[in-house]
Copies of this chain bind each other. A is one copy, B any other.
Amino acid sequence: FTSYDYTAFYETVVPQALEQMMDFEADRMRNLILNDDVIATERDVILEERRSRIDSNPQAVLGEEVDATLWQNQPYRIPVIGWMQEMEKLNRADAQAFYDKYYTPNNAVLVVAGDVEPQVVKALAEKTYGKVARGPDLPPRIRPVEPEQNTRRTVTLADARVSVPNFSTQWVVPSYHTAKAGEAEALDLLAEILGGGSRSRLYQQLVVKQGIAAEAGAFFQGPMLDATNFTVYGAPRGDAKLADVQAAVEAEVARIASEGVTSGELEKAKDRFVRSMIFARDKQDSMANIYGATLATGGNVRDVEEWPGRIRKVTADEVRQVAARYLNLNHSTSGYLLPQAGN
């Protein structure tokens, strides 16, 4: 898969097949044959993928234009799959240039997780990837950064295929890679306490107590190379109006920014986080994914290992502070997915 900051290839095999798989993968890192036929076929595949996953899905169409509105300079405004009119023009020369530049051992992170011994994997890596010549040095990953945001923005899509409306509000916030010490951890806990599941404030208040929302939540995209987004969302239930749901979500955000969180809910959120990390590391594919994502977005192995300890150190006031500092509605971007007027 390809995400905003990196492309990952992953495979699961029995330990005995590891050497052969690494041999194959090392070979296709530099020796892929890209001819016009392959490119034409693959371009048709991604165009069809775009048509089916994005263009025929109003939520995805809205999401793209919300991203391009939230991000006014940084590359996250560009869809990972690309804009249709540009994808149509991609050719063999583009693919070859990209492959030659980026698919090199000096631009790759190899993560092996499972029932293996480090020294055996290291020997295998030297025997396989180690034979691949180093590629040209890559330029530093310096990318356009966001200007200061000064406005409140909205993006609205009304579509006949929509029956229940929904909204999301997003803010530009620091990622683990760009944040000052402790801020990304506080944002992670803020998202968890505010809207991280059925125990969260948004769920309890809007879905359970007030009964106005079919769904309500929050998330924070921490492991990104550049500044990232913090998102709240909701959809009404029954006769409730979307505007009421949004107002109730915003009230919960404002309440945390002014009153903070309790030490009880903070401790419970930390427990859930640390537990979910333990569960994740229990599965070899998610463990590999955590290390790969961290290393590909500017972090290192120690960051992964020390993360539970850094989460434990976050104070209730630090959670309140990041809410107050970053979740300012006057500098936010909201997306609205609505039924067609008249429906």
Contacts and interface: CB of A to CB of B under 8 A. Distances in A.
A156 interface: yes
B69 A150 contact: no
Contacts of A154: 153-154, 156
Contacts of A178: none
Contact of A156 (B64, B73, B85, B152): B152
Contacts of A155: 151-153
Contacts of A149: 65
A137 interface: no
A145 interface: yes
> Binding site of A, secondary structure by majority: helix, strand, loop or mixed?
mixed
A297 interface: no
Given A65-B153, A151-B157, A153-B155, A144 B73 contact: no
Nearest to A79: B147
Nearest to A84: B147
A85 B147 contact: yes
Interface in A167-225: none
Nearest to A72: B68
Nearest to A148: B84
Contacts of A152: 155-157
Contacts of A153: 65, 69, 153-156
A156 B64 CA distance: 20
A77 interface: yes
A157 B152 CA distance: 7
Contacts of A109: none
Interface in A112-156: 144-145, 147-156
B151 A83 contact: no
Contacts of A8: none
A85 B157 contact: no
A86 interface: yes
A152 B335 CA distance: 10
A156 B147 contact: no
Contacts of A62: 150-151
Contacts of A64: 147
A80 interface: no
29 contacts: A61-B150, A61-B151, A62-B151, A64-B147, A65-B72, A65-B149, A65-B151, A65-B153, A68-B72, A68-B73, A69-B69, A69-B72, A69-B153, A72-B77, A73-B83, A83-B144, A83-B147, A84-B148, A86-B144, A86-B145, A150-B157, A151-B155, A151-B156, A152-B155, A152-B157, A153-B154, A153-B155, A153-B156, A158-B330
Interface of A: 61-62, 64-65, 68-69, 72-73, 77-78, 83-86, 144-145, 147-158, 330
Given A62-B151, A84-B148, 10 more contacts: A62-B150, A65-B153, A68-B73, A69-B153, A73-B83, A84-B147, A86-B145, A151-B156, A152-B156, A152-B157
